[in-house]
């Protein structure tokens, strides 16, 4: 669904090793700290922008808040499988924008580079977490070096998932999950 990037979704179904990544204690802790409500996994996928591709406009990954006392609804945690560099398209982020109300394009031209942006240049194995309302965007992979990142999205338990795991996981996969994973994926009977 994104020309110029290799994407792989529903990683829970792809291999059991991925299941351990969604329960990294630091990932769960940051989600609970931001959301301050019961949580569930919303989505878990891989993205790898190809050479001369990967540029995105600034966006948020959920609906904007309308009032300053509205709660935050989720976090994204990126696990970098390769070094993330300027040349291979390190993510662009504008700090503190999660506190703004409305959409990024209410304030900026989201297609343009912004002077306040920082680039997530990180070594392989790093985890970056940010609020779903933080303005962020992919950048072009200039040199074509692999920049695979796993994206774990965790949201409030009363919000819809990006992928309905109860619907899209095989029953044999669900049966092989422990209770904490069943809870986090919202695949229990009740």
> pLDDT tens-digit profile of 52-89?
999 999 999 999 999 999 999 999 999 999 999 999 99
pLDDT recorded at residue 189: 85
Q: Evaluate if residue 44 carries a pLDDT over 90.
A: yes
Q: What would the mean pLDDT of 135-154 be, rounded to a whole number? A: 97
> Taking a C-beta distance cutoff of 8 angstroms, is the pair 7, 45 a contact?
yes
Q: What would the mean pLDDT of 27-48 be, rounded to a whole number? A: 97
Tens of pLDDT, residue by residue over 146-178, are: 999 999 999 999 999 999 999 999 999 999 999
pLDDT recorded at residue 3: 87
> Taking a C-beta distance cutoff of 8 angstroms, is the pair 124, 85 a contact?
no
Q: What would the mean pLDDT of 133-151 be, rounded to a whole number? A: 97
**Positive or negative: CA dihedral 70, 71, 73, 77:** positive
Percent of the chain with pLDDT over 90: 97
2 confidence band (pLDDT: 50, 70, 90):
confident
pLDDT recorded at residue 77: 97
Q: pTM of this prediction?
A: 0.94
- Mean pLDDT (the chain) is 96
Give CA angle at 164 (131, 10), nearest 5°: 80
Q: Reading across the β-sheet that carries 92-93, which strands appear in turn? A: 118-119, 92-93, 136-137
Q: Evaluate if residue 1 carries a pLDDT over 80.
A: no
Q: What would the mean pLDDT of 129-145 be, rounded to a whole number? A: 97
Containing H/E element for 119? strand 118-119
Under DSSP, the state recorded for 161 is: P
pLDDT recorded at residue 113: 95
């Amino acid at each position: 669904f994104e020309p110029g990037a290799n994407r792989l979704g529903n990683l829970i179904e792809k291999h059991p090793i991925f299941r351990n990544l969604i329960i990294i204690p630091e990932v769960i802790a940051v989600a609970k700290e931001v959301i301050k409500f019961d949580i569930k996994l919303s989505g878990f996928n891989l993205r790898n922008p190809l050479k001369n591709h990967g540029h995105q406009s600034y966006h948020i990954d959920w609906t904007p808040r309308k009032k300053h006392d509205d709660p935050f609804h989720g976090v994204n945690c990126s696990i970098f499988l390769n070094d993330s560099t300027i040349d291979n398209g390190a993510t662009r982020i504008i700090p503190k924008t999660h506190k703004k109300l409305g959409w990024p394009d209410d304030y900026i031209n989201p297609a343009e580079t912004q002077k306040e942006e920082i680039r997530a240049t990180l070594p392989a194995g790093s985890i970056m977490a940010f609020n779903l309302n933080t303005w962020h965007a992919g950048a072009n992979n200039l040199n074509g070096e692999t920049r695979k990142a796993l994206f774990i999205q965790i949201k409030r338990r009363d919000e819809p998932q990006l992928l309905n795991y109860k619907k899209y996981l095989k029953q044999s996969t669900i049966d092989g999950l422990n209770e904490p994973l069943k809870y986090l994926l919202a695949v229990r009977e009740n």
